[in-house]
Amino acid sequence: MTGPLHGVRIADLSRVLAGPYATMLLGDLGAEVIKVERPEVGDDTRAWGPPYADNGMATYFAGVNRNKSSHAIDLSTLEGMADVRALIAESDVLVENFRPGALAAMGLGYDDLAAEHPGLIYCSISGFGSGEGAALPGYDLLVQAMGGLMSVTGPGPGEPTKVGVALVDVITGLHATVGILAALHHRDETGEGQHIEVNLLSSLLSALVNQSSGYVAGGVVPGILGNAHPSIAPYEVFATADRPIVLAVGNDGQFRALVGALGLAELAADERFAANPQRVAHRSELKALLEGALASRGASEWQVTIAAAGVPCGPINDLEHAFALAQRLGLDPVVEIGGVPTVANPITLSGSPVEYRLPPPDLGR
């Protein structure tokens, strides 16, 4: 059985995270991905360690580069340009995250290549677009700051904090993947290729969903609420007798079940807490009352009691415990390819499942 993208060839001229993540997902779906890297140096993330896998490869690189082969090509030489042009001529998709305009200056821009290969799908990934923001460096941390994510993330007001992973790169890679799949379908219908542009800033603004919608449609500029939710309560982290627990109460019925399980059934009739808008307005008072009850027992004991009442709750796991949970639930979160453990693709397809054919490649292989 072959993946749904079997027969699609991708020339991957991207590096670091957003582009490589997108092309890895496409490779998992059966596409042939040829990663173009600088001779001797390769993708920047080959040097981003520790930590390292058992074979000495930086785990950062390994995490986004399975199901690819690596071609070491020097684009500053005539031979290298001939090699990459030959690769593009045999490819369905080109993915790149060079500084906007850099490939066009080499004669490898979309307009140049589309004239020769009208069916080519050309995906450009940038930090701030190809217009007025073309000169701005597209680093995830910079976009988390300038794009507003840090303004709503942190322990409290005045303490903006980045997310613990390069989340904007990942989100942008997902948007690039969606765009490429849509363009492949369009080409199947019309025979025409096209130019896809995605950028980190626009991807983040879209991914801020309720927060960005609250500003665009409601004029509300949100601030930092720590672990609290701007529109739902109780929906945050709560102290217990030993360690924190998360309560995610999404409706009034769940709230009644929660306070019943905690021995605080009278709060369901309290006008301050009877409906979600009131609970949001009186969030601090509600949290104090709930933590007063939670202080009588530990998190594990409370989780059993609260979950039995039908209320979403859970501990704050580290990655070791998170992977153990996924394994216990039968989700098979780790796949080993060629002796290198990698995180499994989360997409399950009943008729054309994802494939794990190639381990993250050594440079030039």
Residues annotated catalytic, as ranges: 169
What are the distances in angstroms from CA 217 to CA 15, 153, 155, 212, 233?
36, 21, 27, 8, 22
Task: Read off the tokens for 52.
Answer: 């390292």
| Residue appearing with tokens 């690596």 | 70
Residue pair 136/128 in contact by the 8 Å Cβ criterion: yes
CB distance 334 to 343 below 8 Å? yes
Residue type (1 letter), 166: A
Q: Is the backbone of residue 101 left (phi > 0), alpha (psi -120 to 50) or beta?
A: left
Pairing of strands 340-343, 334-337: antiparallel
Query: Exposed/middle/buried for 363, CB within 10 Å: 0-12, 13-18, 19+?
Result: middle
Give the number of C-alpha atoms closer than 13 A to the C-alpha of residue 83, restricted to the C-beta side: 16
- What's the DSSP call for residue 52? B
Question: Please, what is the end-to-end C-alpha distance for the chain in angstroms?
Answer: 25
Q: Which residues contact 71 (CB under 8 A, 6 or more apart)?
A: 34, 35, 36, 37, 83, 87, 364
